[in-house]
Amino acid sequence: MIMNRLIVVSLLSMMIVAGLWSCTQSMADSKNGGSEQIQVPAASPQVKVEAVDQKEYKVLISTEYGDMVVILYNETPLHRDNFLKLAKEGFYDGTIFHRVIRNFMIQGGDPETRNAVAGAQYGNGGPPYTIPAEFNKKYFHKKGALAAARTGDNMNPKKESSGSQFYIVQGQVLTFEQLTSIETRNRIKFSPEQKQAYTTVGGTPFLDQSYTVFGEVVSGLEVIDKIAAVRTLPGDRPEKDVKMTVTLVE
């Protein structure tokens, strides 16, 4: 099986090139002024997890740059339960944010990065299953959104999520004119709540309804900015590894 590296769209480069946003090109296209997709290795079968009670679930993502408290949405139970299961097992502990793009997102969840080799690029690792998409218009890619990475549309038409890889949105503040352009381009309609968030705290609206958003940072938004500002190498891996631990908040 050919394994594809997890890749994402760079908002800043898209603003410079066209003022529009899309995630339909390959990484190679991006290097020539196009855009990237969020991709992970193809895997099957799909994850099957049992729903847990409808209480509020939070996790703590700890890094040397500070802590982020993340709430997991009960309306995305498959993603919620899978993330809780992995956190309980210590799956993410000692892994790194292997791909960081300023003004876009910070990305992690590849277990192969636990013993990362200097200079190597990561993004192929994860459990041998995928998670069915759980799109919910109530949840979108505002700053601090926790979302699941996945393989590209060409090999993943159902937009199923990676079993472990995730990203946290930094994004940028947009204008109403830019949002209108995205609506036209992607044939979607933003709600008043979305427009308010995207024009104040910012985000990556061009990813809405293409990747499952299953949580959000409720404390520690500044940590996203600190990690997103680190110096990176070619391939967007931080020059100095940014390790994490993920634990449940009781």
Q: Which pLDDT band holds residue 250 (cuts at 50, 70, 90)?
A: confident
Q: Considering the chain, what percentage of its residues have pLDDT values greater than 90? A: 77
Q: How far apart are CA 30 and CA 38, in angstroms?
A: 12
- Asked whether residue 187 is assigned to any structural domain, the reply reads yes
Q: Considering the chain, what percentage of its residues have pLDDT values greater than 70? A: 79
pTM value is 0.82
- Asked whether residue 220 is assigned to any structural domain, the reply reads yes
- Asked whether residue 163 is assigned to any structural domain, the reply reads yes
Please give the tally of structural domains in the chain.
Answer: 1
The 10s digit of each residue's pLDDT in 220-233 is 999 999 999 999 99
CATH number where 242 lies: 2.40.100.10
* pLDDT at site 55: 87
The 10s digit of each residue's pLDDT in 42-72 is 554 555 554 445 789 999 999 999 999 999 9
Task: Return the higher-pLDDT residue of 13 and 165.
Answer: 165
Q: DSSP per residue over 134-148, as a string?
A: ---TT---BTTEEEE
- Asked whether residue 227 is assigned to any structural domain, the reply reads yes
- Asked whether residue 26 is assigned to any structural domain, the reply reads no
Q: Show the domain range for 131.
A: 55-249
- Asked whether residue 4 is assigned to any structural domain, the reply reads no
The 10s digit of each residue's pLDDT in 153-192 is 999 999 999 999 999 999 999 999 999 999 999 999 999 9
Q: Give CA separation, 100 vs 8, 204, 216, in Å.
A: 10, 14, 18
pLDDT of 26 over the 50 cut: no
Query: Locate tokens 């049992």: which residue?
Result: 50
Q: Which residues of 84-93 are buried (b: 16+ CB within 10 A; e: fewer)?
A: bebbeeebbe
- Asked whether residue 5 is assigned to any structural domain, the reply reads no
Q: Of how many residues is the chain composed?
A: 250
- Asked whether residue 159 is assigned to any structural domain, the reply reads yes
